[in-house]
């Protein structure tokens, strides 16, 4: 890749630019880095459209968790603008009825002022079992909660609930693609990462050891290695 190619990073649910802080210095060597703001709209399509309006004409794109849903929507709306694609701890499937019901319950609690409590209770699901007592990552989660805020969180959950099935577009993705996940993702099973990698011709699947849904914070060095190898892949 040309070293001046811009890189657009999309965070996940209740996540901000902070999640990418451990990897940005390494990525920055490949070109300017932009963190997409995904808290201002309440549909994945609108978030993707806003990212496209604010992004450079052509760029490498990485989406983490909810950011992966946005990245896949960008591939639906403007695939010609994406030079490379990285899908991090995410999936192509729509929300299940069970997941939607859980989200609606969480949204009710957050409206009552329980955002911090909701996130603290969910923390064991957000990391590898060996990091459930990691005070540093928990502090990062809470700082991101403050960045996103209650209204941002509610808009994000609304967007996630209504997201479309992106499996039909996987076969249309032609750019170099990385599918990155942890070996113990408690929120999105590895099978769904494998499904995406198998659906995208030539995609590379990387499963990080002793890692949950937050690879940038849990395994920063391994995440940097995977992303820099992806960015170093030549565009045909």
Q: What is the 3-state secondary structure (H, E, C) of the chain?
A: CCCCCCEEEECCCCCCHHHHCCCHHHHHCCCCEEECCCCCCCCHHHHHHHHHHHCCCCEEEEEECHHHHHHHHHHHHCHHHEEEEEEECCCCCCCCHHHHHHHHHHHHHHHCCCHHHHHHHHHHHHCCHHHCCCHHHHHHHHHHHHHHHHHHHHHHHHHHHCCCCCHHHHHHCCCCEEEEEECCCCCCCHHHHHHHHHHCCCCEEEEECCCCCCHHHHCHHHHHHHHHHHHCCCCC
Ordered structural domains, the chain, with CATH: 1-236 (3.40.50.1820)
Low-confidence ranges of the chain (pLDDT < 70): 1-3, 234-236
Instruction: State residue 1's pLDDT score.
Output: 42
pTM for this prediction: 0.96
Q: How many CB atoms lie within 10 A of CB 163?
A: 19
C-alpha distances in Å from residue 157, one per residue of 34, 43, 126, 173, 195:
23, 9, 16, 26, 24
Instruction: State residue 236's pLDDT score.
Output: 54
Note whether 71 and 85 are within 8 A (CB). Answer: yes
C-alpha distances in Å from residue 142, one per residue of 25, 168, 201:
23, 36, 38
Closest CA to 7 of 25, 16, 18: 25
Query: What gap in Å lies between CA 236 and CA 217, rounded to an integer?
Result: 32
Query: What gap in Å lies between CA 89 and CA 199, rounded to an integer?
Result: 16
């Amino acid at each position: 890749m040309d070293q001046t190619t811009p890189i657009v990073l999309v965070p996940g649910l209740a996540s901000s630019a902070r999640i990418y802080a451990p990897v940005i210095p390494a990525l920055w060597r490949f070109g300017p880095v932009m963190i997409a703001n995904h808290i201002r709209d309440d549909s994945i399509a609108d978030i993707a459209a806003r990212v496209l309006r604010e992004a450079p004409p052509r760029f490498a794109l990485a989406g983490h968790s909810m950011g992966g849903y946005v990245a896949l929507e960008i591939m639906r709306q403007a695939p010609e603008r994406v030079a490379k694609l990285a899908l991090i701890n995410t999936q192509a499937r729509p929300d299940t009825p069970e997941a939607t019901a859980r989200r609606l319950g969480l949204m009710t609690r957050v409206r009552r002022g329980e955002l911090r409590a909701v996130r603290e209770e969910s923390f064991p699901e957000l990391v590898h079992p060996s990091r459930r007592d990691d005070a540093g990552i928990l502090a990062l989660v809470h700082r991101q909660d403050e960045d996103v805020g209650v209204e941002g969180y509610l808009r994000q959950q609304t967007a996630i609930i209504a997201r479309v099935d992106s499996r039909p577009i996987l076969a249309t993705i032609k750019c170099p693609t990385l599918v990155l996940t942890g070996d113990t993702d408690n929120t999105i099973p590895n099978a769904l990462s494998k499904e995406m990698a198998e659906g995208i011709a030539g995609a590379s699947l990387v499963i990080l050891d002793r890692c949950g849904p937050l690879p940038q914070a849990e395994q920063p060095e391994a995440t940097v290695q995977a992303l820099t190898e992806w960015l170093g892949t030549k565009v045909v």
